[in-house]
Copies of this chain bind each other. A is one copy, B any other.
Amino acid sequence: MINLSRDPIFPKGEKVVSKSFIGDAWLQMLAPGDYIFNCPMYNVTFEPGARNNWHKHPGGQILLVTDGKGFYQEEGKPARLIQAGDVIRIYPGVKHWHGATVNSQLAHVGITTNPQKGDVEWLEPVTDEEYNNCFTD
In the bound complex, CA of A92 to CA of B6 (Å):
34
Q: Looking at the assembled complex, report how far the CB atom of A114 sits from the nearest CB atom of chain B, in whole angstroms.
A: 6
Interface residues of A in 24-47 (CB under 8 A from B): 30-31, 36-39, 41
Interface residues of A in 5-38 (CB under 8 A from B): 6, 9-11, 30-31, 36-38
Residues of chain B contacted by A31 (CB below 8 angstroms): 62, 87, 89
Given A9-B66, A31-B62, A66-B9, are A38 and B114 also a contact pair (CB < 8 Å)? yes
Where the two chains meet, the residues of A that have a C-beta atom closer than 8 Å to any C-beta of B are 6, 9-11, 30-31, 36-39, 41, 60, 62, 64, 66-67, 84-85, 87, 89, 91-92, 109, 111, 113-114
